[in-house]
Structure 1
Amino acid sequence: MYRADPEDSGNLIRMLAYPDKPGPGAKVAILSPGAGLPEIFPAPYELGLTRLREDFDLVPVEYPTTRRLGSSPAARAGDVNAAFADPSIGAVLTSIGGDDQIKVLRHLDPDVLRAHPKPFFGISDNTNLCNYLWNLGIVSYYGGTIMTLFGRGGAMNAQAAEAVRAALFTHDTYELRPAQAYSDVDRDWNDPASTAGEPELFTGEGWRWHGPRRTVTGPSWGGCLEVLDWNLRVGTHIQEAAAYDGCVLFLETSEELPDANYVYRVLMCMGERGLLQRFGAAIMGRPKAWSLDDQRPPDRKAAYVAAQQEAVLKAFAEYNPDIPLVLNVDIGHTDPQLVVPYGGTVTVDATTGRITVRY
């Protein structure tokens, strides 16, 4: 492990350590600490494993709850503890997210995770584990899920594949780029043909920049807004506000399509807590505006995105108006699924319109 170079990342109050990376041929753990959806949707899962083997030259190792839906929080935590403790495992990747991983955290062994740090990849419900590792001083990776990024229908998104490859194997500095084409329309995994064709793509409209034109570098913190809301309510896994001084906040919303009022209120509560004011820059993911349960036409999608982004701008105008804020970044639940180092060094350069990360 090594810590981020303060020469590169400014006067940071909190410095997290980057785990060592695996090499070609390494074993990697495949876990389901959120939901064991590979049991009922094997097609995208198996496709993701195949690409991990053939395109990335890695050896996936499954654990007892990886394909078992409804496993207890203690059992899922046991797999996490075992994967981190195993010296033959070079990284830990998640199959998918879920909706109750916060219950897993109490069963984790922080001494094991701290003593045997590994690159951990996941989004959505895995915000819980990324934040847990952040509190232990370990950089993790927001992105890289097996069933969505690796198991994407048709082919891996080239932009996402490039980012996850860099995040898996290097500690390089990497520039995130606006997507020329994106999707937020899911394939129905109940359909056996879902892995054959690519998702419907839409023309990317670029990032939206707000706030002062300056450059901010700091360790990142954030994840899925709805999951962070759980952590804020429970409180156990949230530090004192000063721990986030100078960090780059990154947030995105899920396929549950939270409305603009909810998004504003979560940010409002972060502000009233004195937390939102601590960040030196903020990145907001492209809002996912379509789901299998709510298949919205283009006009409703556009209205939803506009309302959410106005809610975000309203909250930051009230609580932290003098920082660079960029919207529409492809992180989280939309495609391409770019990778952000959770706790790693991120530079938001509003003078040139660039975002760079250190993997």
Structure 2
Amino acid sequence: MTPVFIRPAALKEGDTVAALSLSSGFASEVPHRYEAGRRQARASLGWNIVPAPNALRGEDYLYRNPQARADDLHWALEHPEVAGLLSMIGGDDSVRLLPLVDPAVIRAHPKVFLGFSDSTVTLLQFLRAGVMAFHGPALLADIAEHGGMHPYSVQGVRQATMSAAPFRFAPALEWTQGGPDWMLPELQEVPRPFAPSAGWIWLQGTQPAEGHLIGGCLEVLDMLNGTPGWPEPALWQGAILCLETSEDVPPPSQVGYWLRNFAAQGILQHAAGLVLARPRGYTPEMVEEVYRWVKKVLWEAGREDLPVLANVDFGHTSPQLTLPFGARARLAPAVGVFEVLEGGLSD
């Protein structure tokens, strides 16, 4: 049974969207990048980006004041003129906000929250509060893309956060994981080089499967595991797990160890499917080793039947699609389909 989640209202062109620094305060170090993100959000999505009250107060202040970050989240949810919430960028310590975030506020004011990487913590607190959330571009990353948003990222955000209709994912034709230095304003309008994409890979499974989407960045999930913010067993039951790794490039064996933890909790045994992001910073040999570990752990868990789709365009490579966490989706290996059966929004 799919858990029941509240669907936030679809975002519209002209809406005010608050940019939040829930983890790193890096936005203040790259004001040109922040302004590029604001311009490009308006040009490609029609959003009016406004900073939350503490979002631009700097890395040191926000590190020392997690309460200010939690206050920003509550402010954006409760402010009547703010239609949606957008992560500035990831980081590594939004887990510190867990005692300070009120799930009742999230549930009472359901709005689109969009982000990835360390935003995994907040995304899962939305699901725990019973509200759908959206794993996708951050303001300083794919929205502030050098020279303008990539059309693939624009389409991904629009279909997931600006329409209540079901939709089908498709592989990006090109991808990248590097590019110009964010700290140099003169390079902001220099487009990054993109390489042709090899597409998605079905690692195993033959039968179609349906389930709600849940997951995030594996390194952040590891920090969250065992805390009060870890999703309850019912939220994992029958889910399609969407997992990615960060620029930390964890060894393939570590990915296997994290999946073994999921097996020890019974998560893999009760999952409907597994979707793995294209890993950033891995050699082809490391990627193959990750895939061997995935299939090894699934064999150990008795899940050789589980459909597994890999090299998917989300997470720490670009461009990336947007995953509506909590929405019901379908994997169909025989026909190569990954689709959302019900949108994550209300009309």
- 2:127 paired with 1:137: no
1:356 aligns with 339
Conservation of the 8 A alpha-carbon contact between 1:36 and 1:65: no
- 2:101 paired with 1:108: yes
Conservation of the 8 A alpha-carbon contact between 1:15 and 1:219: no
Picking from 37, 41, 52, the partner of 1:48 is 37
* Contiguous gaps of at least 5 residues in structure 1: 1-11, 291-300
Conservation of the 8 A alpha-carbon contact between 1:287 and 1:308: no
1:25 aligns with 14
- 2:299 paired with 1:307: no
Say which is worse superposed, 70-79 or 207-216, in terms of deviation: 207-216
Conservation of the 8 A alpha-carbon contact between 2:84 and 2:113: yes
CA RMSD after TM alignment: 1.5
Shift of 1:211: 2.6
1:335 aligns with 318
Picking from 59, 69, 88, the partner of 1:69 is 59
- 2:218 paired with 1:225: yes
Please give the secondary structure, in 1, of the residue aligned with 2:269: helix
For the residues of structure 2 that align with 1:201 and 1:308, how far apart are their CA atoms?
24
Picking from 28, 31, 36, the partner of 2:25 is 36
For the residues of structure 2 that align with 1:242 and 1:135, how far apart are their CA atoms?
10
Pair 1:243–1:147, CA change in 2 (3 A): closer
1:7 aligns with none
* Contiguous gaps of at least 5 residues in structure 2: none
- 2:330 paired with 1:347: yes
What is the TM-score with the length of structure 2 in the denominator? Answer: 0.93
For the residues of structure 2 that align with 1:23 and 1:243, how far apart are their CA atoms?
29
Conservation of the 8 A alpha-carbon contact between 2:3 and 2:234: no
Conservation of the 8 A alpha-carbon contact between 2:275 and 2:312: yes
Picking from 211, 235, 238, the partner of 2:227 is 235
1:6 aligns with none
For the residues of structure 2 that align with 1:201 and 1:302, how far apart are their CA atoms?
17
Pair 1:198–1:317, CA change in 2 (3 A): farther
Conservation of the 8 A alpha-carbon contact between 1:160 and 1:337: yes
For the residues of structure 2 that align with 1:114 and 1:36, how far apart are their CA atoms?
26
Please give the secondary structure, in 2, of the residue aligned with 1:18: coil
* Letter of the structure 2 residue corresponding to residue 74 of structure 1: Q
Shift of 1:189: 1.0
Please give the secondary structure, in 1, of the residue aligned with 2:83: strand
* Letter of the structure 2 residue corresponding to residue 205 of structure 1: A
For the residues of structure 1 that align with 2:34 and 2:293, how far apart are their CA atoms?
35
- 2:244 paired with 1:252: yes
Shift of 1:243: 3.6
